[in-house]
Amino acid sequence: MKLNKIDHIGIAVKDIKEVSKFYKDVFDCQTSEEMEVPERKLRIAFTEISGVKLEFLMPTDKESTVAKFIEKRGEGIHHICFEVDDIEKMVSELKNKGVELVDEKPRLGVEGNKIIFLQPKSAYGVLIELKER
């Protein structure tokens, strides 16, 4: 079981426009256009630094998982995403090792790649996303 690289770091935010302005003004980073993800009750945008993306996650509904995350923990790092070659094989290996998954089988992420999430309690408190390249 091999992780290829960090694909992105998800950051829960209350206002993408404010965060985008901060990264532009302070670090001269350009942020992508905002994308609506209605099935997850989110708006997202990306910026990239040295090949690693930052994914800004802004809830559009107070009942979304990201809204609940912000309410409980405040804004900040929500998850880390690693790229893998074969996500179905990874799911099988993780299950065989007793790792609990949020997703029992891969689903499509916002960029059209297959993804799964691991339960944070199985990964020492870190919400891990795996993304097939």
CA torsion 69-71-73-79 (nearest 10°) is: 20
Across all residues in the chain, what is the average pLDDT?
Answer: 95
Query: Are 9 and 54 spatial neighbours (Cβ–Cβ below 8 Å)?
Result: yes
CATH number 3.10.180.10 given to 5-132: yes
Q: In the chain, where are the structural domains located?
A: 5-132
Report the candidate in 11, 12, 8, 59 with the shortest Cα–Cα distance to residue 37: 59
β-strands 52-59, 5-12: how paired? parallel
pLDDT in tens, 24-72: 999 999 999 999 999 999 999 999 999 999 999 999 999 999 999 999 9
pTM of the predicted structure, to 2 decimals: 0.93
Q: Give me the count of residues in the chain.
A: 133
